[in-house]
């Protein structure tokens, strides 16, 4: 692909680094829950722990699998999950690509990496038909672990969260109480919920209620 | 009374734990392991209720969910009241308080009984329809009277102190029923490796084995149950759910189970010492395969006075004897048409009580159990049946007679047998309810004298549910069904499980007997009850067929057969058989009604689960919600969103009224500067080389020439040409647009775009993604907006550089932002989008700088007033799915000459959409400036016309305008644009009539100068 081609493409789409140059206090989607006393101190001792991983970079990739796969592998070192409901992570688990629909993937990377990644992917993809959308402010990742994490999920989502139904490396969009989440199984001992910002407080209140009989903590680091 | 009917030994009760309970105000003792019913029988309580229609005394009849009479109101306190509890299914606990649901003031002396005495003529079947049809307006009065008399239990008047929840379960094999068939099915499937859930509604698993006379592998049946349940409990892939009723079978093997978690322990979980735990739980099970092993219900025979306390179903008596150590009487007569019921006579005799006689309708019964009865000296009367019971508050005798079942007549002399208990057995009805929940009709098997389930995809049947009754066959049938289910779910069985050995018995065939003929005709004989709960008699069914109700569905509704908590579990088959006899048809020709969920009554709490209180519905918050709360906002629900409605201030220590707050906010925007949290508006990012072409097809107006950096307002129609949504779309780049939608339309518009792209125009290269939650949106608007913005942004705000309907990128309060010069107030306005995590910082910075301009936060109410002053519509308020862009006077936003036919174009060329008398959007100015018209008020042209008046249109939006110092409204009016200056009338429900002048929709700044400054 030529330099000129990629330039043309970039200029036809308005990319936008949403982060300020000077550091400014940001508020994660759980900020209001914390304000109203629904977030606990770190290191909960109950049988269920929900820990927010705030301020990560979330990008939605749209396009054909073959087109995107090469670019994602080259820029992230992760294979695009080709099969439906696939979730691939890099070696230390800090970057991931999740299948969302036949032409849609969710990329999650450490916060601040997303704009540069978007630009590099756009460069590499050139004039191919694709879309990249930064949705980092619109959703957040909540990790769920503990002995009774599965029971809490059984109260909340209709999907089969047993290893038969949700083995490591699988991710599904599913009903969560009266909203929806992306439910991911990155490893044997934990689940991840990708929650929409506006529904985050509802999800936290639901999790606290569902986990009450087992002892539950909801944690949210402020940076 | 102190448990006079309790046997000195036997039963599965714990005699060391005495429990005290109260029934109808009197205290009784019972034992742990009792049900409320077994404890009542142990204490010799004969009358537990009054009947629904005739107010006759009623006693306990059955031992399971089919119990029609012992329906009680449970709960010691108001908050803990539970209606319609079957005493046969309620475990006894210390301190239990129960009352009869029927019978006022008490079941012994009932003021309603005069109705019952007159009953035959006073309340025939169809009574409600015939008596209460006219006048219809009196129904409410009648209903109160009937309800008070009939009584169906009552809801608590206080909120439930307990919690309930739902659990989603998945398994390969769900086994319903833990009797002999269910246990072997579960064991077989589990050993094959399948994930198995085994549920059973009783307090203990084991089903009929818990009261069985038979031995398994040489030991008692109960021992085998214990061993088998222990093995299942030890398997990781098995979930055991005792006290769990499978209440609904839905499509695709979705089954709802209700587990009683603390209901068997106390009134509330807290009373049981288990505060915070759920009282009952709904398991929503999605199973690959279901094994239905729900067994059968014994049918009683229909004979005269068969409802007098002391008449019971034979098998129930065995259950009370063997499981609870209770003999509910002294002298028994058993009337039967089958061998199996003989066990009740044997059990009764072994308990040391007198068996007066077994009356068998068959001429020559000679099975093993019959022989056993004869050998033990029991008198067996053959070819006969109990025709009538004697007694009123309790059975005092049985009138026995020889019968001819084919001719349906009595053939001999009546013999009177003195007794206090009559056990009857008319055969067994498979419990097929769940198999017919999805609409599958059951099949009548004349050889089995019962309905068996029709084929249900994904469901296997085991044991009694398909009329396999002999214990050895039932155990084998369970094994087969378990293996088949596991195999169908992909699990091959390693080795067959050993079916426990059982002694086989010979049985003589059951005869078909439902109603026992009486010496008098059904209509003249004493009442022969078919459905005890609804007081449906054989005569009632006969009368219904005579009055022309031939379909069983009609008979059911005419007589109320099969209504109520038991849903015809005891009476349905007998009712159908009687209808068939009267209509000279066979039972399959008459057909059966089908069952619906739920199998037994379910408390509302278990249905609601945790979706109650503050978790009833999600609340969506914007990134600025905290600030709104801290600054005293009143909130309005918009979809799931909580949006600030208005921000009342404290003035002289008093909180402003809504009217005052909105007036202040409106004037602040018109005269200074205000700020709105507009984050809830839908935002859709659109990318791709064909994005522009796509917009041109989805919107009514033109998009071909919108340059990057510019914004345009667009209208979206459905294919019927009616307005669906509106909003602005900004050109971010040649191939990149940002669409905004209404708050409520965010999700549906995205779906609409995907629908048209995926189904009609897949060749267009374009992608849509929601960024509603990603960006927070703040609208700074008012004459002072530019001054305020200048203090916080690096964007050049010069009016020539940054014109109305331009957008610019820059920073606001140090945060990268896109700023749009679009206006929904008609004032100078800047709409700021920043990544939501930084929204609060930006908002606070605007207030820090805005103080000197008295920056005023405003809510949705002020937003509505300001936009209406400018005649700007709200889709869904000023439109209702029948309004075209033309009707709104927005032909300027319709591109009829666009090259590609956009959605709605064709519909807008129909003659109907071109009519000049369509309802068109107009302004209304009340003649009296203090009047604010009611939204929805109808418009008429002739105020003197008599009702029904000719309605010409209605008010869609109406407010008081602080800047105009007058009420004003938007309305749709037939031919409205040609009526400018006319006076119209709005008659109100209180008799007054408002006058208003038809005016232009733009009430303020008609030249649109203020937004362009």
> B630-635, long-range: CB within 8 Å, 24+ apart, which pairs?
B631/B857, B633/B857, B633/B859, B634/B658, B634/B859
- Report the 3 state secondary structure along B816-842: EEEEECCCCCCCCEEEEEEEHHHHHHH
pLDDT at B140: 56
Are A98 and A127 within one domain? yes
Ranges of H-type helices in B674-745:
691-698
Domain stops at, among A135, A159, A181 = A135
Domain stops at, among A135, A162, A179 = A135
Residue B142 clears pLDDT 70, i.e. is over it: no
Chain B nearest CA to A206, separation (Å): 7
Considering CB atoms only, which of B277, B765, B816 is closest to A16? B816
Average pLDDT in the B637-649 region?
97
Contacts of A159 in chain B (CB under 8 A): 168
Contact B968, B935 (CB under 8 A): no
Average pLDDT in the B609-614 region?
94
Residue B104 clears pLDDT 60, i.e. is over it: no
Contact B116, B56 (CB under 8 A): yes
Q: Kindly report which listed range (B147-161, B395-409, B640-654, B800-814) carries the lowest average pLDDT score.
A: B147-161
Residue B115 clears pLDDT 50, i.e. is over it: no
Judge whether A17 lies within some domain. Answer: no
Residue B615 clears pLDDT 80, i.e. is over it: yes
Are A41 and A118 within one domain? no
pLDDT at B120: 45
Are A88 and A180 within one domain? no
Place of tokens 């049809």: B133
Cis amide prior to B523 (ω within 30 degrees): no
Average pLDDT in the B860-872 region?
98
Considering CB atoms only, which of B620, B770, B838 is closest to A24? B838
For B129-192, the DSSP string reads HHHHSSSGGGHHHHHHHHHHHH------SS----EEEEEEEEEEEEEE--SHHHHHHHHHHHHT
Q: Looking at per-residue confidence, does B378 or B111 come out higher? A: B378
Residue B111 clears pLDDT 70, i.e. is over it: no
What is the rounded end-to-end Cα distance, in angstroms, of chain A?
39
pLDDT at B595: 87
Are A207 and A156 within one domain? yes
Q: Kindly report which listed range (B15-24, B99-108, B942-951) carries the lowest average pLDDT score.
A: B99-108
Give the β-pairing of B26-32 and A190-196.
unpaired
Residue B121 clears pLDDT 60, i.e. is over it: no
Judge whether A178 lies within some domain. Answer: yes
Residue B656 clears pLDDT 80, i.e. is over it: yes
Structure tokens at B919: 């309802």
Nearest CA in chain B to A13: B733
Considering CB atoms only, which of B776, B814, B816 is closest to A17? B816
Contacts of A210 in chain B (CB under 8 A): 165, 610
Average pLDDT in the B798-823 region?
97
Contacts of B170 in chain A (CB under 8 A): 160, 162, 164-165
Are A117 and A208 within one domain? no
pLDDT at B53: 82
Confidence bin at B118 (pLDDT 50/70/90): very low
- Which neighbouring-strand residues pair with B94? none
pLDDT at B151: 52
Average pLDDT in the B922-934 region?
97
What are the DSSP E strand ranges found in B639-774?
A: 641-646, 650-651, 654-655, 674-677, 682-687, 711-717, 723-733, 736-741, 767-770
Contact B796, B864 (CB under 8 A): no
Contacts of A56 in chain B (CB under 8 A): none
Average pLDDT in the B128-150 region?
53
Residue B935 clears pLDDT 60, i.e. is over it: yes
Rounded CA separation B579/B321 (Å): 35
Rounded CA separation B613/A11 (Å): 51
Closest C-alpha among B371, B285, B275, B384 to residue B333: B384
Judge whether A2 lies within some domain. Answer: no
Domain span holding position A104: 56-135
The SS3 assignment for B14 reads strand
Rounded CA separation B335/B314 (Å): 9
CB contact under 8 Å between B687 and A212, yes or no, is: no
Average pLDDT in the B363-380 region?
97
CB contact under 8 Å between B814 and A21, yes or no, is: yes
To 5 degrees, how large is the angle CA B579–CA B580–CA B584?
120
Confidence bin at B557 (pLDDT 50/70/90): confident
Judge whether A218 lies within some domain. Answer: yes
Are A148 and A219 within one domain? yes
Closest C-alpha among B122, B283, B109, B88 to residue B197: B283
Question: What confidence tens digit (pLDDT) does each residue in B868-888 have?
Answer: 999 999 999 999 999 999 999
pLDDT at B103: 55
pTM equals 0.92
Contact B733, A99 (CB under 8 A): no
Are A164 and A180 within one domain? yes
CB contact under 8 Å between A155 and B626, yes or no, is: no
Average pLDDT, rounded, for chain B: 93
Contact B269, B275 (CB under 8 A): yes
Structure tokens at A141: 């990742």
pLDDT at B136: 56
Q: Looking at per-residue confidence, does B101 or B181 come out higher? A: B181
- Assign residue A96 the CATH number of its domain: 3.30.70.1520
Rounded CA separation A52/A201 (Å): 12
Structure tokens at B752: 């609409």
CB contact under 8 Å between A20 and B816, yes or no, is: yes
For B219-263, the DSSP string reads EEHHHHHHHHHHHHHT-TTEEEETTEEEEEEEGGGEEEEEEESST
Domain stops at, among A135, A158, A184 = A135
Are A69 and A100 within one domain? yes
Ranges of H-type helices in B388-470:
433-436
Question: What confidence tens digit (pLDDT) does each residue in B705-719 have?
Answer: 999 999 999 999 999
Rounded CA separation A164/A186 (Å): 15
Residue B641 clears pLDDT 90, i.e. is over it: yes
Contacts of B689 in chain A (CB under 8 A): 12, 129
The DSSP code for B18 is: E
Q: How many CB atoms lie within 10 A of CB B136?
A: 8
Average pLDDT in the B34-42 region?
98
- Assign residue A217 the CATH number of its domain: 3.30.1360.120
The DSSP code for B532 is: T
Average pLDDT in the B612-637 region?
97
Extract the residue ranges of chain A whose pLDDT is less than 50: 1-10
pLDDT at A1: 32
Judge whether A20 lies within some domain. Answer: no
Residue B838 clears pLDDT 80, i.e. is over it: yes
Rounded CA separation B493/B483 (Å): 7
> A178-184, long-range: CB within 8 Å, 24+ apart, which pairs?
A178/A202, A178/B611, A178/B617, A178/B618, A179/A203, A179/B618, A181/A157, A182/A98, A182/A100, A182/A106, A183/A153, A183/A157, A183/A159, A184/A87, A184/A96, A184/A98
Structure tokens at B866: 């300001």
Considering CB atoms only, which of A138, A154, A155 is closest to B771? A138
Q: Domain count for chain A, please give it.
A: 2
CB contact under 8 Å between A35 and B620, yes or no, is: no
Backbone φ, ψ for residue B46 (5° rounding) = -85, -45
pLDDT at B24: 95
pLDDT at B964: 97
- Which neighbouring-strand residues pair with B290? B174, B459
- Pick left, alpha or beta for residue B871 (phi over 0 → left; psi -120 to 50 → alpha; otherwise beta): left
Contacts of A164 in chain B (CB under 8 A): 170, 195
Return all residues near B45 (Cβ < 8 A) that are at least 6 apart.
Answer: B1, B23, B28
CB contact under 8 Å between B774 and A136, yes or no, is: yes
Question: What confidence tens digit (pLDDT) does each residue in B286-343 have?
Answer: 999 999 999 999 999 999 999 999 999 999 999 999 999 999 999 999 999 999 999 9
Question: What confidence tens digit (pLDDT) does each residue in B669-702 have?
Answer: 999 999 999 999 999 999 999 999 999 999 999 9
Residue B119 clears pLDDT 70, i.e. is over it: no
Residue B453 clears pLDDT 50, i.e. is over it: yes
Judge whether A6 lies within some domain. Answer: no
pLDDT at B137: 58
CB contact under 8 Å between B809 and A62, yes or no, is: no
Task: Enter the ipTM.
Answer: 0.96
- Pick left, alpha or beta for residue B689 (phi over 0 → left; psi -120 to 50 → alpha; otherwise beta): alpha
pLDDT at B147: 54
Say what percent of chain B tops pLDDT 90: 88
Are A195 and A212 within one domain? yes
Are A120 and A179 within one domain? no
Are A106 and A197 within one domain? no
Confidence bin at B141 (pLDDT 50/70/90): low
Contacts of B286 in chain A (CB under 8 A): 158, 160
What is the rounded end-to-end Cα distance, in angstroms, of chain B?
94
Are A163 and A204 within one domain? yes
pLDDT at B130: 52
Closest C-alpha among B852, B829, B866, B830 to residue B667: B866
Considering CB atoms only, which of B169, B276, B618 is closest to A179? B618
Instruction: Give the domains, in start order, of chain B with CATH numbers.
Output: 1-152 (3.10.20.440), 163-293+430-488 (3.50.50.60), 299-427+510-519 (3.50.50.60), 520-590 (1.10.10.1100), 625-679+775-867 (3.30.1360.120), 682-770 (3.30.70.1400), 915-1012 (2.40.30.110)
Rounded CA separation B200/B15 (Å): 25
Judge whether A13 lies within some domain. Answer: no
């Amino acid at each position: 692909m030529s330099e000129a081609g990629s330039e043309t493409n970039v200029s036809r789409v308005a990319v936008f680094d949403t982060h300020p140059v000077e550091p400014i206090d940001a508020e994660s989607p759980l900020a209001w829950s914390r304000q109203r006393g629904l977030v606990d101190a770190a290191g909960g001792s109950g049988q269920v722990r929900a820990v927010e991983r705030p301020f990560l970079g979330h990008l939605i990739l749209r396009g054909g699998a073959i087109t995107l796969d090469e670019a994602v592998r080259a820029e992230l070192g992760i294979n695009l999950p080709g099969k439906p409901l696939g979730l691939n992570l890099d070696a230390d688990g800090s970057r991931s690509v999740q299948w969302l629909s036949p032409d849609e993937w969710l990329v999650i990377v450490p916060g601040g990496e997303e704009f540069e990644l978007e630009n590099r992917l756009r460069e590499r993809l050139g004039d191919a038909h694709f879309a990249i959308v930064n949705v980092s402010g619109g959703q957040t990742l909540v990790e769920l672990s503990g002995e009774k994490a599965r029971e809490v999920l059984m109260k909340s989502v209709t999907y089969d969260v047993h290893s038969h139904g949700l083995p490591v490396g699988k991710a599904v969009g599913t009903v969560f109480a009266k909203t929806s989440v992306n439910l991911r199984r990155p490893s044997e001992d934990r689940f991840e919920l990708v929650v929409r910002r506006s529904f985050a407080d509802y999800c936290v209140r639901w999790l606290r209620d569902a986990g009450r009989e087992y002892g539950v903590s909801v944690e949210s680091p402020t940076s | 009374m102190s448990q006079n009917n309790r046997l000195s030994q036997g039963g599965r009760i714990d005699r060391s734990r005495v429990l005290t309970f109260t029934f109808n105000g009197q205290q009784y003792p019972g034992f742990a392991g009792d049900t409320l019913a077994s404890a009542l029988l142990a204490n010799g309580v004969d009358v537990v209720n009054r009947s629904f229609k005739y107010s006759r005394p009623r006693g306990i009849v059955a031992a399971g969910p089919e119990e029609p009479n012992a329906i009680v109101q449970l709960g010691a306190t108001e908050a803990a009241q539970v209606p319609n509890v079957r005493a046969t299914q309620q475990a006894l606990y210390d301190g239990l308080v129960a009352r009869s649901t029927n019978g006022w003031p008490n079941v012994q002396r009932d003021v309603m009984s005069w109705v019952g005495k007159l009953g035959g003529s006073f309340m025939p079947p169809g009574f409600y329809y015939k008596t209460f049809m006219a006048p219809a307006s009196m129904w409410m009065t009648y209903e109160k009277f009937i309800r008070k008399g009939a009584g169906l239990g009552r809801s608590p008047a206080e909120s439930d102190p307990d919690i309930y929840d739902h659990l989603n379960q998945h398994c390969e094999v769900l086994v319903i029923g833990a009797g002999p068939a269910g246990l072997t099915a579960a064991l077989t499937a589990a050993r094959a490796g399948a994930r198995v859930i085994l549920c059973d509604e009783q307090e203990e698993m084991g089903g009929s084995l818990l009261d069985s006379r038979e031995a398994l592998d040489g030991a008692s049946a109960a021992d085998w149950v214990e061993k088998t349940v222990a093995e299942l409990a030890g398997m990781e892939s098995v979930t055991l759910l005792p006290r769990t009723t499978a209440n609904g079978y839905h499509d695709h093997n979705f089954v709802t189970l209700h587990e009683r978690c603390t209901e068997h322990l106390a009134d509330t979980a807290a009373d049981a010492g288990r505060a915070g735990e759920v009282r009952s739980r709904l398991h929503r099970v999605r199973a690959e395969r279901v094994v239905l092993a729900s067994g059968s219900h014994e049918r009683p025979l229909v004979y005269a006075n068969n409802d007098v306390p002391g008449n019971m179903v034979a098998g129930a008596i065995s259950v009370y004897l063997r499981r609870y150590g209770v003999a509910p009487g002294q002298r028994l007569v058993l009337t039967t048409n089958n061998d199996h019921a003989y066990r009740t006579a044997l059990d009764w005799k072994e308990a040391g009580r007198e068996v007066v006689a077994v009356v068998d309708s068959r001429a020559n019964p000679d099975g093993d159990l019959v022989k056993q009865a004869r050998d033990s000296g029991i008198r067996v009367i053959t070819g006969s049946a109990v025709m009538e019971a004697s007694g009123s508050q309790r059975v005092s005798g049985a009138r026995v007679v020889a019968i001819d079942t084919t001719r349906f007549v009595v053939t001999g002399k009546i013999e009177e047998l003195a007794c206090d208990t009559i056990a009857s057995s008319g055969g067994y009805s498979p419990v097929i309810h769940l198999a017919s929940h999805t609409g599958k009709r059951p099949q009548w098997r004349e050889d089995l004298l019962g309905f068996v389930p029709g084929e249900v995809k994904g469901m296997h049947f085991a044991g009694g549910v398909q009329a396999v009754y002999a214990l050895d066959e039932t155990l084998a049938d369970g094994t087969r069904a378990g293996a088949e289910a596991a195999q169908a779910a992909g699990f091959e069985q390693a080795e067959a499980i050993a079916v426990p050995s059982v002694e086989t018995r010979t049985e003589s065939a059951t005869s078909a007997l439902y109603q026992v003929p009486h010496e008098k005709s059904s209509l003249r004989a004493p009442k022969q009850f078919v459905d005890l709960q609804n007081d449906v008699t054989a005569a009632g069914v006969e009368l219904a067929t005579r009055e022309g109700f031939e379909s069983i569905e009609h008979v059911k509704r005419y007589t109320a057969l099969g209504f109520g908590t038991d849903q015809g579990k005891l009476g349905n088959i007998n009712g159908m058989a009687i209808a068939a006899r009267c209509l000279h048809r066979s039972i399959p020709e008459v057909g059966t009604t089908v069952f619906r969920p739920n199998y037994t009554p379910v408390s509302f709490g278990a249905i609601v689960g945790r979706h109650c209180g503050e978790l009833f519905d999600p609340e969506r918050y914007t990134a600025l919600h905290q600030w709104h709360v801290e600054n005293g906002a009143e909130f309005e629900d918009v979809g799931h969103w909580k949006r600030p409605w208005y921000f009342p201030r404290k003035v002289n220590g008093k909180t402003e009224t809504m009217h005052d707050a909105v007036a202040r906010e409106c004037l602040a925007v018109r005269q200074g500067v205000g700020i709105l949290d507009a984050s809830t508006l839908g935002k859709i990012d659109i990318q791709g080389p064909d994005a522009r072409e796509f917009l041109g097809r989805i919107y009514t107006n033109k998009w071909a020439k919108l340059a990057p950096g510019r914004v345009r307002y667009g209208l979206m129609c459905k294919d019927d040409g009616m307005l669906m949504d509106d909003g602005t779309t900004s050109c971010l780049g040649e191939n990149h647009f940002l669409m905004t939608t209404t708050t409520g339309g965010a999700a549906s518009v995205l779906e609409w775009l995907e629908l048209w792209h995926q189904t009609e125009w897949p060749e267009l290269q374009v992608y849509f993604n929601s960024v509603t939650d990603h960006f927070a949106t703040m609208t700074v608007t008012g004459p002072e907006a530019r001054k305020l913005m200048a203090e916080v942004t690096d964007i050049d705000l010069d009016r020539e550089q940054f014109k109305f309907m331009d957008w610019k990128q820059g920073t606001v309060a140090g945060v990268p932002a896109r700023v749009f010069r679009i206006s929904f107030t008609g004032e100078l306005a800047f709409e700021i989008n920043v990544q939501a995590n930084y929204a609060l910082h930006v908002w606070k910075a605007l207030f820090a700088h805005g103080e000197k301009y008295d920056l005023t936060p405003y809510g949705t109410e002020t937003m509505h007033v300001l936009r209406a002053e400018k005649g700007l519509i709200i889709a869904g308020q000023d439109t209702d799915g029948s309004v075209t862009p033309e009707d709104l006077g927005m032909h300027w936003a319709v591109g009829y000459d666009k090259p590609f036919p956009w959605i709605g174009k064709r519909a807008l060329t129909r003659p109907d959409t071109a009519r000049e008398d369509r309802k068109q959007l107009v302004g209304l100015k009340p003649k009296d400036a203090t009047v604010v018209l009611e939204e929805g008020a109808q418009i008429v042209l002739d105020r003197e016309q008599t009702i029904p008046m000719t309605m010409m249109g209605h008010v869609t939006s109406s407010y008081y305008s602080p800047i105009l110092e007058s009420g004003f409204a938007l309305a749709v009016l037939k031919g409205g644009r040609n009526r400018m200056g006319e006076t119209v009338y709005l008659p109100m429900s209180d008799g007054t009539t408002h006058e208003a002048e038809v005016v232009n929709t733009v009430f303020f700044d008609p030249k649109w100068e203020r937004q362009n400054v």
